[in-house]
Amino acid sequence: MHSETRSYRTGDREVVLDLTADCADVVSGRGEGILQLFVPHATAGIAILETGAGSDDDLLAALGDLLPADDRWRHRHGSPGHGRSHVMPAIVPPHATVPVLEGRLALGTWQSICLVDVNVDNDVREVRFSFLAG
């Protein structure tokens, strides 16, 4: 098993951050197995989706529709609507598993692995990458 943690600056806005290149780097030359990603934060998630063609913005818009940044949330510390950030990982989970074949991610043509962060109060996130050889 190989495991490492990397930090990402997400800033003060909602973001879908493409991690695919970093994932490919972690598994490069490691043979067959699976890559497990985990975000050890209560307000961030991992999604596999197409990026660059608007789907990443569509995801943020959909989360905004499902989880509005208003005062309805019981969890109230932080910026207005912060409670939505604590509900978001139930929709976009804090983990993903990707097959690795011959040291390469076995993703579909348009799939990317992304960190999803709608919490504007925390600007640094950690992602744990664990490669399990098959």
Give pLDDT tens digits along the chain (134 positions): 999 999 999 988 999 999 999 999 999 999 999 999 999 999 999 999 999 899 999 999 999 999 998 888 888 787 878 899 999 999 999 999 999 999 999 999 999 999 999 998 989 999 999 999 98
User: Which residues form the domain of 60?
Assistant: 2-133
- The residue whose two tokens read 């804090």 is 94
- What's the domain count of the chain? 1
Ordered DSSP codes for 32-81: SEEEEEE---TTEEEEEE--SSSHHHHHHHHHHHHS-SSTT-S---SSTT
User: Distance (Å, rounded) from C-alpha 52 to C-alpha 56?
Assistant: 7
Q: What is the pTM of this model?
A: 0.93
Report the relative pairing of strands 33-38 and 95-101 from DSSP bridges.
Answer: antiparallel
- For residue 105, which of 93, 97, 94 has the smallest C-alpha distance? 97
Domain CATH code at residue 52: 2.60.120.460
